[in-house]
Structure 1
Amino acid sequence: MKLLAIDCAANLCAACVYDAAAKRELGRSVLDLGKGHAEHLMAVIGEALQEAATDYAGLDAIAVSVGPGSFTGLRVGVSTARGLALALKIPAIGVTTLEALAADAASAFRGRAVLAALDAGREEIHAALYDETSVLTYGPSVITLAEAVAVATEHSAVLAGTAAASIAAVAGPGFDLGPRTATADIVTYARLAAAKGAGERPKPLYLRGADAKPQAGFILSRQRD
């Protein structure tokens, strides 16, 4: 089975083609954009397909990062994945950024619990805890730094994600750090999706509402007939 994995959850606009039977990445394309995923995603996908020497007809599933992450980036990635899956009549499979980061950390620290934690601003952290067998045991949730420290300490967890260093600084010495990025390697999403198989259609994981909201003073009242 060949999967196309795409990730627009954070700064990267990334795609890869993965052969699940051979457990081998066939091709990838990654841009570090910050913004502008919508303008570049289809070209990035095209480059990954070209490097893998395949096309859309050769795909059996679409994997996509569903967040938490950039509000706009998630909408771009998930809507593209669902659109391609519908057109190609193949499943779309969602993978959270937290489980992907935890998987990357677990590959380096086998047999350890992992706390994947992303700095969400406003002194908040998006976090999820995975046990020694990579099973989700807590979250995804919005928590404070103090709560993250408590969870990490209780489980002697490896720390991963953009909030990992902040948690370690408060928790004290002795904590191992995995990737401290906002998203995982693109092939990790493909591997996790292949292991999951088809399920519910993916949708963005928003742990809190969008920062940009209409100002009340500019909302027009509905006119009566």
Structure 2
Amino acid sequence: MTQLILAIDTAFERCAAAVYDADGDVLLAAAEPEIGKGHAEQLMAVIAGVFDAANVTYADLARIGVTVGPGSFTGIRVGVAGARGLALALGVPAVGIDTLSALAAPALGQGRAILATLDARRGEIYAALHAPDGAVLAAPRALPPADLPDMLVRLDTGTPLGLVGTGSAIALAALPDRNPLVLGSDSRIDLHALGALAARAADAPPRPLYLRGADAKPPSAAGSISFRAAASPQAVP
């Protein structure tokens, strides 16, 4: 049976969804309207549109993959909640993919280590380091740009380094001795790469990835979640 995966990304400005055929390693259909806000109102319509374009139904899905952050808190919450709800209703697994891994994936396999970054504002950057073969050398974290050289200690100085993500310019300035090459500087998630990552991810319910522990508090006794402000605490451009 063909393994079809619904890939969802609502971590940034786009409300994106795609149907990925894991057996053929191909996208059957994809849509990624740039909406800024309002993911909750548009996500299900975007999914319906890609299903129509791919000529599939919910019953055809084998699993669901969704970006879990870092990114816009509101967008991530919408995507994760949608993926988990659909997975429960359909009886299929849902898995989470961090946005830094998704940003790095298309640039891997070309002889360069990839430092995926997002401008976290507040004087910090979100970053994760991948070896040329995709192995994770440094897991996603929030840190001051001045600490980026320490993040690269496990990377041989002779290994070429590529930068992707909205924090690329910041990382470039912080790593003059590494002479990195900027391969991308936006937050667009490649949906083919997201689908491929979801296909091989271990089954585990997706959960939002918070890299600033103080920004989101644990559930209260009443079962609700308390946040310090209505605005997204980990929003990135």
Give TM-score, length-normalised by structure 1. 0.88
Call closer, same or farther: CA 1:186–1:214 in 2, change over 3 Å.
Answer: closer
Match of 2:164 in 1: 160
Q: Deviation string for 1:9-41 (max 9, x for gaps)?
A: 111100000110011110011110111100100
Q: Contact conserved, 2:6 with 2:61, CA < 8 A, in 1?
A: yes
Q: Contact conserved, 1:153 with 1:171, CA < 8 A, in 2?
A: no
Q: After the TM superposition, list the runs of 4 or more consecutive aligned residues in structure 1 that deviate by more than 3 angstroms.
A: 149-156, 209-212
Structure with the greater alpha carbon radius of gyration: 1
Q: Give the superposition deviation at 1:81.
A: 0.2
**Residue 213 (structure 1) aligned with residue 225 (structure 2):** no
Q: Which stretch has the larger CA shift, 48-57 or 164-173?
A: 164-173
Match of 1:113 in 2: 113
Q: Which stretch has the larger CA shift, 172-181 or 147-156?
A: 147-156
Question: Pairwise CA RMSD of aligned residues?
Answer: 2.0
Mapped to 1, the partners of 2:74 and 2:24 lie a distance apart of: 34
Q: 1:187 aligns with which of 188, 192, 201?
A: 192
Mapped to 1, the partners of 2:183 and 2:150 lie a distance apart of: 18
Q: Give the superposition deviation at 1:171.
A: 2.6
1:21-36 map, 5 Å: 21-36=23-38
Mapped to 2, the partners of 1:142 and 1:37 lie a distance apart of: 25
Mapped to 2, the partners of 1:138 and 1:154 lie a distance apart of: 8
Q: Contact conserved, 2:148 with 2:175, CA < 8 A, in 1?
A: no
Match of 1:220 in 2: none
Q: Contact conserved, 1:114 with 1:130, CA < 8 A, in 2?
A: yes
Call closer, same or farther: CA 1:194–1:150 in 2, change over 3 Å.
Answer: same
Unaligned runs of 5+ in 2: 217-226, 231-237
SS at match of 1:25: strand
1:60-209 map, 5 Å: 60-106=62-108, 110-151=110-151, 155=155, 156-172=160-176, 174-196=179-201, 198-208=202-212, 209=214
Q: Which amino acid aligns with 2:162?
A: V
Mapped to 1, the partners of 2:13 and 2:106 lie a distance apart of: 18
Q: Give the superposition deviation at 1:160.
A: 1.1
Q: Which amino acid aligns with 2:165?
A: G
Q: Give the superposition deviation at 1:88.
A: 0.3
Mapped to 2, the partners of 1:185 and 1:103 lie a distance apart of: 8
Q: Give the superposition deviation at 1:151.
A: 3.5
Q: Deviation string for 1:77-124 (max 9, x for gaps)?
A: 0000000000000000111100011112215xx122111111101010
SS at match of 1:12: coil
SS at match of 1:31: coil
SS at match of 1:38: helix
Q: Deviation string for 1:177-217 (max 9, x for gaps)?
A: 12211242122111111122x421110001114386169xx
